[in-house]
Amino acid sequence: MSGVPRLEVIGIRKQFPGVLALDGVSLRVAPGEVLAVVGENGAGKSTLMKIIAGLYQPDAGEIRLDGRSVRLPTPAAAMAAGISLIHQELNLAENLSVRDNVFLGREMTRGGWLRWLDGAAMRRQAALLLQQVGLTPDRLFWRVEHLSPGEKQLVEIARALSLQVRVLIMDEPTSSLSHKETERLYEVIAAVRRAGVSVLYISHRLAEVQRCADRVVVLRDGRLAGELCGTQITHDNMVRLMVGRDLKQYYPRQHRSGRGGPVVLRLEQFRYQGGPDQPASLEVRAGEVLGMAGLVGAGRTELAEAVFGVRPWRDGQVWLDHRPLRIRHPRQAIAAGMVLVPEDRRRHGLVLDASVGFNLSLPNLRLLSRWYGISRRQERRWQQHWIERLRIRTPSPEQLVALLSGGNQQKVVYGKWLAGRPRVLILDEPTRGVDVGAKAEIYALIDELAGQGAAIWMITSDMEELLGMADRVVVMHEGRIVGELDREHLSEEAVMHLATGGRTPPAGDRHPATLPRWRPDGQADAAG
C-alpha cells in the first residue's frame, strides 16, 4: 500500500472483565478501499469497530487518521473526525421522517438562538443525499418506521454522508436485507468508495465479503489471524484463518435420502389464522433432516410457529406419531415432544437478562421439582451436565446469557430442549449469528439427534447449510409449499428456481400433488 493510509490502528488492546477482547490488533485502510473484517463471534470485531467509532476506549494502542494521531473519547468525537458506524441494530428514530433523521442532532436552523428549523434547506440537502444512496426523493417525508430494512440502512448511510464521512464502518449491514436490497447496498458502497471514503465491512457472510472487499483481515481470539488480498480471498482461506484449522468435517451429515424411519410429524391441509389460504401439507420422518427453503417472507417461520402453537390454528390436522394433535399453546407442543428453536433467539429463544442456568432449566422445571421444591444443588449439577454436554463456553451456570457469544447462546437454546428428549425438533435458522466453530458443533449435534431417531424440520436461508445438512428439501414461496427436492435433485439452482416462484420445476422435482400418500400405519406407500 502506498501513501498515507486513511485510517491506521496500531496495537489496540482492550480488556473486559474476564476476557481480553483485543490483544494488540493493528490494521490500516487506504482512501477508497473496502476492507472486510471477519472472524467468529467473540473474535473481537465488534469491539474493535466500537473503539474506532469512539464507543469504547482502548487500554493501549493508537488510532491515526490520515497520518495524524487522534483521540476519540466519544462517538461524537469520532463522527466529527469523519468516522461513522452503521450498526447492525439501526439507530434511527422510527417516529421521525427520513429528512429529520438525516439531520437529527444537527438540524439546520435560522434565527440565531431561536433555532428555527430551516426546513427548506434541509429538504434540499437531504434530497441530494438520498440521490447519492439511491433512494427516491418521495421517501423524504416518510416516517422511518414505514421503510424497509434496506431503505433504513440507506438512510443511515445518507446520514453518514451528510457528516462528511471519511471512514464508514458497516457492521453486518446485510443481515436483514433482501437480495435486491443487498445489491443496491453494493452499488452504494461502490459509489462512496469512488468518492474516496474508506469502508470497513464486517460480515458473517463470506460470499459477500468475497464480492465486495479489496482486502480481508481475519481476527481470531482478539488477535490478527491473517490478511488476504485479491485472489487469496476465498471461502476456504477465510474459514481456515477464522477457526485456525481446516474444516474437513464441517457437515458431518451422512445423508439417508429417501429412507429414514416412520413418519413422525405430519401436517395435513394445515392452515393457521392470519396465514395464507393455501393449506400446507408436510411430513417429517424419524431420523430425517427435512430442509425447508424459501426467501425471507415466504412464510416458513410463520408456519413453524403455527404448528408449535404460537400462532392460532385454523383448520387441518397435525399428527405426531400417528396421534392427532390440537395445539393451542407451545406448552402442548412441548408436552407432545415437539420443540422449536426459534429464529429470533434474543426475543423468543432466551430470557436474555437471566443466567445460563435459568434458561436451561426453564422448560424442564417439572423434571427438576421435588415435593420439597427445586433443589438448588441438584439443579446446578443438572445444569452443569448440559453445559458440558453441549460444550457451552461459560464460566458458570450463573453467567448472564446475554454475555455469551452468539454461538454459545444458541447452544443454550438447544440445551434447554434436549433434556426433554424431543421427538420433533423444528429448527428455524439453526445457526443464525453463530460463529464457524460453534456451527460445526451444532451440525454435529443435529446429526447426532437425527441418528437417535428424532425428526428434524430445519428452516434455513443459508444455502450451504441446506445443501450440507438436509436429506430432503421442501421449498416455500409466498406462503405455499411449491415443491420438494430429494437428495439427488438437490442443487442451489433448483432451490432458487422454486423459491423465486419458478412455474415449471426442473426435471425430476416432485410437486406436492405427487407427494407420497400417507397411510394410517405411518408407512408411505409405493409412491414414496
Binding-residue pattern over the window 73 to 112 for another protein, x denoting contact by CB under 8 A: ----------------------------------------
Residue 342 interacts with another protein (CB under 8 A): yes or no: yes
Residue 416 interacts with another protein (CB under 8 A): yes or no: yes
Residue 79 Rama label (left phi>0; alpha psi -120 to 50; beta): alpha
Among 60, 76, 207, 365, binds another protein (CB under 8 A): 365
Binding-residue pattern over the window 244 to 263 for another protein, x denoting contact by CB under 8 A: --------------------
Among 24, 330, 468, 528, binds another protein (CB under 8 A): 330
Residue 310 interacts with another protein (CB under 8 A): yes or no: yes
| Those residues with Cβ within 8 angstroms of residue 26's Cβ, 6 or more apart along the chain or in another chain | 8, 9, 10, 11, 12, 61, 224
What are the start-end ranges of the E strands in 198-312? 198-202, 215-220, 223-229, 263-272, 280-285, 289-294
Of 65 and 327, which has the nearer Cβ to another protein?
327
Region of 26-34, 46-54, 228-236, 323-331 interacting with another protein (CB under 8 A): 323-331
Burial class (CB within 10 angstroms; exposed 0-12, middle 13-18, buried 19+) of 504:
exposed
Residue 377 interacts with another protein (CB under 8 A): yes or no: no
Closest CA to 301 of 472, 460, 465: 460
Residue 378 interacts with another protein (CB under 8 A): yes or no: no
Residue 199 interacts with another protein (CB under 8 A): yes or no: no
Residue 329 interacts with another protein (CB under 8 A): yes or no: yes
> How far is the C-alpha of 243 from the C-alpha of 225, rounded, in Å?
9
Strand partners, 424: 338, 455
CB of 401 to another protein, least distance (A): 10
Residue 311 interacts with another protein (CB under 8 A): yes or no: no
Radius of gyration from C-alpha coordinates of the chain: 25
Residue 430 interacts with another protein (CB under 8 A): yes or no: no
Region of 97-105, 330-338, 490-498, 516-524 interacting with another protein (CB under 8 A): 330-338
> How far is the C-alpha of 139 from the C-alpha of 136, rounded, in Å?
6
Query: Which strands make up the sheet holding 280-285, listed edge to edge?
Result: 280-285, 263-272, 313-320, 323-325
Among 251, 358, 386, 457, binds another protein (CB under 8 A): 358
Region of 52-60, 295-303, 400-408, 433-441 interacting with another protein (CB under 8 A): 400-408
In degrees and rounded to multiples of 5, residue 377 shows phi and psi of -65, -45
CB of 21 to another protein, least distance (A): 14
Residue 207 interacts with another protein (CB under 8 A): yes or no: no
Burial class (CB within 10 angstroms; exposed 0-12, middle 13-18, buried 19+) of 314:
middle
Region of 63-71, 153-161, 325-333, 445-453 interacting with another protein (CB under 8 A): 325-333
Of 104 and 351, which has the nearer Cβ to another protein?
351
Structure-block grid coordinates of residue 51: 473503539
Residue 388 interacts with another protein (CB under 8 A): yes or no: no
Single-letter residue type at 345? R
Of 20 and 403, which has the nearer Cβ to another protein?
403
Residue 325 interacts with another protein (CB under 8 A): yes or no: no
Among 98, 340, 404, 418, binds another protein (CB under 8 A): 340
Residue 433 interacts with another protein (CB under 8 A): yes or no: no
Hey, what's the torsion of the CAs at 523, 288, 425, 296, to 10 degrees?
-110
Residue 318 Rama label (left phi>0; alpha psi -120 to 50; beta): beta
Residue 83, classed as helix, strand or coil, is strand
Identify the residue whose cell numbers are 433434556. 419
Of 50 and 497, which has the nearer Cβ to another protein?
50
Interacting residues with another protein between 287 and 306 (CB under 8 A): none
Core vs surface per residue 200-212: b (16+ CB within 10 A) or e = bbbbbebebbbeb
Strand partners, 52: none
**What is the DSSP code (8-state) at residue 345?**
I
Residue 349 interacts with another protein (CB under 8 A): yes or no: yes
Of 251 and 358, which has the nearer Cβ to another protein?
358
Of 189 and 304, which has the nearer Cβ to another protein?
304
Residue 352 interacts with another protein (CB under 8 A): yes or no: yes
State the residues that interact with another protein by CB under 8 A. 17, 308, 310, 329-331, 333-335, 340, 342, 347-354, 358, 361-363, 365-366, 368-369, 372-374, 400, 402-403, 416
